[in-house]
Amino acid sequence: MKLKQISLFVENKPGTVNAALKLLADNGVNISTLSLSDSKFFGVLRLLIRDWEKARDLLEAHNFAVKITDVVAIEVDHAAGSLSKILEVLDRHQVNIEYLYAFAAGLHGKAAIIFRFADPDDAIEKIKSELKIVEPLDLFREIPN
């Protein structure tokens, strides 16, 4: 039920994000979704990729600082208040969110929110009876490699 997310630490200067993304593209690795956050000196580029092991190996071979983290995808309707309902469940179970971002494709008219929890296994155990946790195969089913 957990997904492997690649986090890249990149300098906050022109061309560094493109260098990583071009490397993946040149090697036939398709990015399903991504998020970029920054600070004054560096950025964190988070990627969900079906073949995350290939991507990790490529990036590490080209001296990118790579970290693999477990994240959880939760299905959300495209309707006002849907995310708020998910957050209410998480609050009720005292599940702390470190960060989140959206994944809009591939779920039969629904989206997914990607959550990074302090303890993904504990979070899944607490919420699995109330929320639809998206399996990796379902998330990547309609997205090319």
Question: CA geometry: angle at 24 spanning 21 and 28, to 5°?
Answer: 135
Question: CA geometry: angle at 48 spanning 52 and 66, to 5°?
Answer: 60
**pLDDT category of residue 137 using cuts at 50, 70 and 90:** confident
**pLDDT category of residue 140 using cuts at 50, 70 and 90:** confident
Each residue of 3-43: pLDDT tens digit? 999 999 988 888 889 999 999 999 999 998 999 988 777 88
- All structural domains of the chain, each given as residue ranges with its CATH number in brackets, are 2-70 (3.30.2130.10), 71-140 (3.30.2130.10)
pLDDT of residue 144: 55
Which among 72, 82, 79 has a CA at the least distance from the CA of 134? 72
Each residue of 44-88: pLDDT tens digit? 999 999 999 999 999 999 999 999 999 999 999 888 999 999 999
> What is the average pLDDT across 89-94?
97
Q: CB of 74 within 8 A of CB of 131?
A: yes
